């Protein structure tokens, strides 16, 4: 990896962690798009997974008092089922498909609430979210806008939403790392994995961005939080689709 690419990745970590620290998502989509442009898909997935695990883990720690552990346990059950299916199918997309998936995932924020009555607090929906979100996160790299659809109709506060989403994403990104690293290690050994120093350097930047974003979150209202998140993610999704079409 060139020094320029590494520098771009580290700066992106700081900026996107700040964005995710506010909205609980969006930053991950941007980060995945940048990584896919710079390195092979498998490498991008592993770097993204490691950094997002740190970012989400730290965010979950900051807001740990607001985590709904009952929802997480139900989500994890669905996630386990998804993992088994993904390893059985063993399909991994190329760069163009990743961009398409990123764009489509982002546009899910416009899914009319009347189409699907999604609410992660309802019976069986946390398990369904675990299965669907884990599957999408593993093959596309991100799933925040889809996961958000399960939270927008709940009676949870913005802090509870961000905290509970964060802990579910720690699990999701851990699975993604295992899924993408297994064939790489089998084919070329551990030396083919992303450089350890990059992840080490990214960790404090991720924590810093998350902390700064959390300060902004504290000053937002629940209404502005949900409105701002929707338009930001839409803009990001449009960029990803243009990238997939070769127009950017």
Domain regions of the chain by residue span: 3-244
Q: pTM for this one?
A: 0.85
Q: Which of 67, 137, 70, 131 is nearest to 108 (CA)?
A: 137
Distance CA 199, CA 222 (A): 33
Alpha helix positions (H), the chain: 3-23, 27-38, 41-62, 69-89, 95-107, 125-140, 144-149, 158-188, 196-218, 222-244
Asked whether 34 and 8 are in contact (CB, 8 A), the reply is yes
If 0-12 CB within 10 Å is exposed, 13-18 middle and 19+ buried, where does residue 109 land?
buried
What's the whole-number mean pLDDT along residues 193-220? 86
Task: Say whether 163 sits in a helix, a strand or coil.
Answer: helix
Name the least confident of 57-66, 127-136, 208-217, 228-237: 228-237
Report residue 115's pLDDT band, with 50, 70 and 90 as the boundaries. Answer: low
Task: Say whether 191 sits in a helix, a strand or coil.
Answer: helix
pLDDT at 113: 65
Q: Which of 80, 7, 18 is nearest to 217 (CA)?
A: 18
Distance CA 125, CA 66 (A): 20
Q: Would you state the torsion angle of the CA atoms of residues 240, 235, 79, 39, taken in this order, to the nearest 10 degrees?
A: 30
If 0-12 CB within 10 Å is exposed, 13-18 middle and 19+ buried, where does residue 19 land?
buried
Q: Is the pLDDT of residue 9 over 90?
A: yes
Q: Would you tell me how many other CB atoms lie within 10 Å of the CB of residue 127?
A: 19
Report residue 222's pLDDT band, with 50, 70 and 90 as the boundaries. Answer: low
Distance CA 215, CA 218 (A): 5
Q: Is the pLDDT of residue 23 over 80?
A: no
pLDDT at 114: 65
Q: Is the pLDDT of residue 240 over 70?
A: yes
Specify the DSSP class assigned to residue 195: P
Average per-residue pLDDT for the chain: 86
Distance CA 217, CA 159 (A): 8
pLDDT at 164: 93
What's the whole-number mean pLDDT along residues 55-73? 90
pLDDT at 46: 94
Report residue 78's pLDDT band, with 50, 70 and 90 as the boundaries. Answer: very high
Report residue 26's pLDDT band, with 50, 70 and 90 as the boundaries. Answer: confident
Q: Is the pLDDT of residue 109 over 80?
A: no
Tokens of 216: 């902004």
What's the whole-number mean pLDDT along residues 38-56? 90
Q: Is the pLDDT of residue 171 over 70?
A: yes
Q: Is the pLDDT of residue 143 over 70?
A: yes
What's the whole-number mean pLDDT along residues 2-6? 89
Q: Which of 114, 172, 115, 178 is nearest to 147 (CA)?
A: 172
Report residue 24's pLDDT band, with 50, 70 and 90 as the boundaries. Answer: low
What's the whole-number mean pLDDT along residues 88-117? 81
């Amino acid at each position: 990896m060139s020094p320029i690419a590494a520098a771009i990745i580290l700066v992106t970590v700081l900026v996107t962690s700040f964005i995710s620290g506010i909205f609980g998502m969006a930053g991950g989509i941007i980060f995945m798009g940048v990584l896919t442009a710079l390195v092979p898909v498998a490498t991008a997935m592993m770097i993204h997974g490691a950094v997002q695990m740190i970012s989400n883990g730290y965010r979950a720690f900051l807001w740990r008092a607001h985590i709904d552990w009952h929802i997480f346990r139900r989500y994890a059950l669905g996630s386990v089922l998804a993992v088994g299916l993904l390893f059985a199918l063993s399909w991994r997309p190329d760069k163009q498909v990743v961009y398409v998936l990123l764009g489509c995932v982002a546009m899910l924020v416009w899914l009319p609430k009347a189409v699907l009555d999604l609410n992660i607090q309802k019976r069986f929906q946390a398990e369904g979210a675990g299965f669907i979100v884990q599957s999408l996160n593993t093959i596309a790299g991100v799933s925040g806008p889809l996961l958000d659809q399960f939270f927008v109709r709940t009676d949870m506060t913005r802090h509870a939403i961000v905290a509970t989403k964060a802990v579910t994403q720690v699990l999701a990104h851990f699975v993604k790392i295992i899924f993408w690293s297994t064939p790489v290690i089998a084919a070329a050994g551990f030396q083919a994995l992303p450089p350890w120093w990059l992840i080490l350097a990214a960790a404090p930047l991720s924590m810093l961005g998350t902390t700064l974003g959390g300060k902004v979150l504290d000053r937002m209202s629940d209404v502005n939080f949900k409105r701002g998140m929707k338009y930001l993610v839409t803009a990001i999704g449009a960029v990803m689709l243009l990238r997939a079409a070769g127009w950017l």
